[in-house]
Structure 1
Amino acid sequence: MITLRPAAAWTAALILLVAPIVAMADDLPSWNDGAAKRNIIEFVTAVTTAGGPDHVAPADRVAVFDNDGTLWGEQPMYVQLAFALDRIKALAPDHPEWKETEPFRSVLAGDLAGVAASGEKGLVDLVGVTHAGMTSDEFTGIAGDWIDTARHPKTGKPYTSMVFQPMLELIAYLTANEFKVFIVSGGGIEFMRPWTERIYGIPAENVVGSSIKSRYNDKGGKPAIVRLPEVDFVDDGPGKPIGIYSHIGRRPIAAFGNSDGDFQMLEWTTSGPGRTFGLIVHHDDAEREYAYDRNSHFGKLDRALTEGPRRGWNIVSMKNDWNKVYPR
């Protein structure tokens, strides 16, 4: 039998306590050593340690991620907006009246300021034309084909290769620790579902997003779900907690976002009982990605940037906390 002296015993105990954390740190190689990475690991360790004061049963380990700006890029415009604009251009030959009608005229002229000036009504008109008037299966095919071929205007890369490697690692790390991971995005739920499992490992049933109204109908002698040109639900701002409550039925213990549109999601998550976690990705890396926050048309980060630290949320600097941005 081996007998340890008191000092040696304390050292051995310390090694046993630290070893799991060190091993887990290797699961996040694209995160630089620092407060953000340390806080993630400490939180996951605390809620997964059986018998610990902060232990959370696997059934309640729910983590929610925004998509645009949190899991992939959102500049110079939201990817789904790029999809809508491309659809307008493809359909334009059959609609000569669009040359004189906003917001279609601005789309065809490449005038994003004009598109933005059309306001909510203009965006609803674009959605009505590009996302409705077809079956759910038809839309899934159109959206899937587009995401497989579309390219980012600045890099020329597929949008799906411009996902953030540190966040992919974080999703995998949480999943390995028996978290249920969901996307909760202002983007369209039907637009995201065709590809989220392939790109993020998050299945379609774990995607919550904005949606348009649909109707069960007969089309061509076959039963179908037909998409209508009417907005049903907007999963942004205060809509995100409602979307979580309606679709998931459990309050998350961890929430990840990047903009003021995620504020209420993080607020609701971190005000829950027990140990919780909130994180905001701050886009401050103009060299490797983009630098923007308070004055951006897309992904505006103002209130959450100011109030986040006071609420205990982690503000992650893309420039300083990530040693890698994209998978390749």
Structure 2
Amino acid sequence: MSLSTRRTVLAGLAASWALVATQGAAAAPADPLPSWNPGPAKTAITGYVARVTRQGPDFVPPAERIAVFDNDGTLWAEQPIYFQFAFALERIGDLAAKNPSLRQNPAIAAIADRDQAAIAKLSEKDLFEAVLAAQAGLTTEEYQAVAKAWLDQARHPRFKTPYTALTYQPQLELLAYLRGAGFKTYIVSGGEVRFMRTFAETSYGVPPEQVIGTTPTTKFELRDGKGVLVAQPALGSLDDGPGKPANIDLHIGRQPLVAVGNSDGDLQMLQYSASSTRPNLQILVHHDDAVREYAYDRQSKIGRLDKALDEASTRGWTVVSMKSDWKTVFPTKP
């Protein structure tokens, strides 16, 4: 091959490589997580998804791609009080005024009286039992209608916006990104399951059957010939702490590979995910942005992040700094 011919071939190859590079750049996908700042957290997420979705030693079949998310403090805000408890405080006060016998339950009496000292002494189980006792007798449809009506009119005390406007934009992107990669996304939260199902599909794209939460005991009844489920004044299952992996096994039947939480109540769920023999990813949202949202962790009564934060450091889990890793917090500025 002559020198001139060789130059012609090399020029042609260079032109071809340039065309391929140009076409590749044009075809490059848009950033799936535009509200996430570049950094270790975003890299851990996108790197993990790439590994498990391409053929190779870490490939995971789509049927096994399960991701579980806590709700309060993970998908939407939770301060200064869990939003469901804000709903319950209002509703319990009204019900206790109409039915004084409910006050025989010390938790209901404390809530109805807004007795902060007494409320502070109540356990999470006490609070949930009070909430469920006050809602006893309602069918699932009746309860969800009441909850939806409250969500439509209630406003957050700080942001003066509907509670459903306080979902986290970066997490909405993460949910969509995982679903686009073949993951089935579930909510596994301490919140009452019927309350969450009133907004989960609209707010997060998560259908009711993929929402797992704290449940009351229920009873089947025929009312006017129609079969209904009626809430009873007792706790069926508390979906918090060790209750989360137990309910994941009961309702999903597969060990999740991705687990996302923000508090010690999510620790066992993350540990369960981290125990999978498949490649897995654990994510903790750290609330450290007092300007755009709230800053709290080890000493907080709501969403305490203490033991899980230590374990994340020890085990190399991904800790998301709300202040540093998120370009924006809410879909629109409250």
TM-score (norm 1): 0.90
- Shift of the 246–100 alpha-carbon distance from structure 1 to 2, 3 Å rule, reads closer
Offset of 1:249 from its aligned partner?
Answer: 0.9
CA spacing shift, 1:276–1:125, aligned 2, 3 Å:
closer
- Structure 2 partner of 1:23: 29
The aligned amino acid for 2:40 is: A
Shift of 1:255: 0.6
2:161 matches 1:157: yes
Distance change in 2, residues 1:295/1:4 (3 Å): farther
Q: Tell me, what secondary structure is at the counterpart of 1:228? A: strand
**Cα distance in 1 for residues equivalent to 2:62 and 2:78:** 32
Look up the match of 2:325: 321
Deviation at 1:99, TM superposition (A): 7.3
Partner Cα distance (1:223, 1:105) in 2? 33
Pick aligned residue for 2:53 from 48, 52, 61: 48
Q: Deviations over 1:183-205 (max 9, x none)?
A: 01011111111210001000001
State the 1:74 CA deviation.
0.8
Rounded to whole Å, the distance in 1 between the matches of 2:14 and 2:304 is 53
- What per-residue deviation string (whole Å, max 9, x for no partner) do you get for residues 53-96 of structure 1? 21111111111100000000111111111111111122233134
Q: CA contact under 8 A between 2:93 and 2:113: conserved in structure 1?
A: no
For 1:145-165, what per-residue CA distance to the aligned partner results, in whole angstroms no more than 9, with x for missing partners? 122221111111101000000
Structure 1, unaligned runs of 5 or more = none
SS class of match (2:106) = coil
Residues 143 and 181 (structure 1), Cα distance of their counterparts in 2 relative to 1, 3 Å cut = same
How far apart, CA to CA, are the structure 1 residues paired with 2:57 and 2:105? Answer: 61
Correspondence for 1:301 among 305, 329, 332:
305
> Which of 40, 44, 49 is equivalent to 1:39?
44
Asked whether 1:223 is paired with 2:227, we answer yes
Aligned-residue offset at 1:22: 6.5
> TM-score normalized by structure 2?
0.88
Aligned residues between the structures:
321
- Relative to structure 1, the CA distance from residue 271 to residue 22 in structure 2 (aligned partners, 3 Å threshold; closer, same or farther) is farther
Instruction: Report SS of the residue matched to 1:308.
Output: helix
1: CA distance, partners of 2:148 / 2:122:
28
Matched, 1:265 2:269: yes
Q: Distance in 1 between matches of 2:313 and 2:124?
A: 32
Tell me which residue corresponds to 2:259: 255
Verify: 1:92 aligned to 2:96, yes or no.
yes
Q: Tell whether the 8 Å contact from 1:283 to 1:317 is kept in structure 2 after alignment.
A: yes
Partners of 1:276 and 1:21 lie apart in 2 by 29
Aligned to 2:3: none
Q: CA separation of 1:21/1:170 partners in 2, compared to 1, >3 Å: closer, same or farther?
A: farther
Q: Deviations over 1:227-284 (max 9, x none)?
A: 1111111111111111111101111111100001111111111121121101000000
Equivalent residue number for residue 4 of structure 2:
none
- The alpha-carbon distance between structure 1 residues 245 and 8, as it changes in their structure 2 partners (threshold 3 A), is farther
Going from structure 1 to structure 2, the CA distance change for 1:283 and 1:21 (only over 3 Å counts) comes to: farther
Aligned mates of 1:130, 1:28 — CA distance in 2: 41
**Match of residue 212 from structure 1:** 216
**Residue 62 of structure 1: which of 66, 83, 92 is its match?**
66
Uncovered stretches (5+) of structure 2, i.e. residues with no partner: 1-7
Structure 2 counterpart of 1:319, one-letter code? K
1:118 aligns with 2:127: no
- Equivalences for 1:175-194 in 2 at 5 Å? 175-194=179-198
Offset of residue 121 of structure 1: 6.4
Q: CA deviation at 1:125?
A: 4.4
1:219 counterpart letter in structure 2? R
CA contact (8 A) 1:209 1:234 kept: yes
Verify: 1:102 aligned to 2:106, yes or no: yes
Report if the CA contact (8 A) 2:264-2:304 is conserved: yes
Root mean square deviation, CA, Å: 2.6
